[in-house]
Amino acid sequence: MAKSAKKSKNTWQVTELKPTDVFLSDPKNTDIVIAVMGPTGAGKSTFINTLFGEAVAEVGHDLQSQTAQVQHYILNPKSEHRTIIVDTPGFDDTIEEDREILRRIAVWLARSYDAGMNLAGVIYLHEITQTRMLGTARKNLDMFNKLCGVNKSDNIVLASTKWIDVKQEIGNRREEQLKKEHWKEMMNHGAKAVRFDGTQKSAQDIIKLLFQQEAVDPAEIQRELVDIDKFLAETAAGRTLRYTLDQLLEEQKKLATQLHQEDGGQDLKQQIHENEEKIRSTLRQIGSLSISFSQRLKRWFRLRCAKQKIFTNNFALPAAPKGLLSATVMAKTKYIPQNTWQKTEVKSSILHEPMDTDIVIPIVGMTGAGKSTARAF
């Protein structure tokens, strides 16, 4: 379902938006969004070009990713209900780190939801030529699950690609394994597994599967960023990067054991070196996802101001009693009577110009503990 427009900014709008992010110049609440996801090389851009019947998306012909930014293509621009096809970069991209890929996808989906656009569904592409679900393919599928939410799979199509490059019996066996193991949970929740045979009719049939479904709830990443107002690092997809580090460390342990037990050749040493680079990269990305105290404080303050505005708009202060208006009070539109503590306990005011936008952090402790030497962040 679409999200109604919000006046106040969410955390993701403050912390994650960048000037280089690509988005529609004229988003409409009648737009229908279909996202195409999958690993680099799975054929996302090829699928989109086949669907449109022309080359609208750049296609890579080697291991280098051609989709670094999230790109959108309008299938029927003159229709009242435009269909927006979204081409997303894969994780383990050859150009950008996973954290940046996650940010770009999450921000695009959050912006579309915040603008009231309707998510019809998501197409996940997997090339059937892959012999096993390891490394990049596994990471992309895990991240896909976290972005969409495994329990919200009614409007997900799992499409296998590149059938022309594999023998039929081998492809059938791999497809069956995908359905019984890696795609099983999503299919149990309503996801549909299909084949993309490379023709325009096949691409159109896959799109039609999504339009046959009822309106879809927001993807998990949309709900977390827009509705719950989480930091990107707090989302299920953001936390997945931490799980990736555990997997890399476990893989490094296995490689080190193998090198110790065997007379490891150059290939094994190269694997260890590449894994070390992945660990360093993942550590950097986890560091960039860390949420500082000041960021948390700013979010708390924004929420506080929003709640205060709601309270002020719904509850009027009592009118001032006659005969009690001083020159200072007369300058105000409302009168606030003093509490007992204000009359009996207040001796002097240290802060001469308090404002309702001030943030107070008390520092307490024993004499000599160093309270006065505390530095502002």
Do 126 and 178 contact (CB within 8 A), yes or no? yes
Nearest to 28 by CA among 76, 88, 68: 76
- Cβ neighbours, 10 Å, residue 157: 23
- Cβ neighbours, 10 Å, residue 95: 13
Do 150 and 62 contact (CB within 8 A), yes or no? no
Model pTM? 0.67
Instruction: Sort residue 232 into left (φ over 0), alpha (ψ -120 to 50) or beta.
Output: alpha
Do 70 and 108 contact (CB within 8 A), yes or no? yes
In this predicted structure, what is the pLDDT of residue 323?
45
- Bridge partners, residue 35, by sequence: 86, 122
| Alpha-carbon gap, residue 53 to 237, rounded angstroms | 33
Give whole-number Cα distances, 7 to 4, 226, 351, in Å. 10, 12, 32
In tens digits, the chain (377 residues) has pLDDT values of 555 444 578 888 988 899 999 899 999 999 999 999 999 889 999 999 999 999 998 876 554 555 578 999 999 999 999 999 999 998 875 567 888 898 999 999 999 999 999 999 999 999 999 887 777 788 788 889 889 987 778 899 999 999 999 999 999 999 999 999 999 999 999 999 999 999 999 999 999 999 887 767 789 999 999 998 888 888 888 877 665 666 666 666 776 777 666 665 677 777 676 667 766 766 666 665 555 556 666 666 665 665 555 545 554 444 444 444 444 433 444 445 567 777 667 776 556 666 655 666 777 777 777 767 655 44
Question: Has domain 11-229 been given CATH number 2.60.40.10?
Answer: no
DSSP class of residue 155?
Answer: T
| Alpha-carbon gap, residue 178 to 187, rounded angstroms | 10
Instruction: Concatenate the DSSP letters of all residues of 75-102 into one string.
Output: S-TTSSS-EEEEE-PPSS-SSS-HHHHH
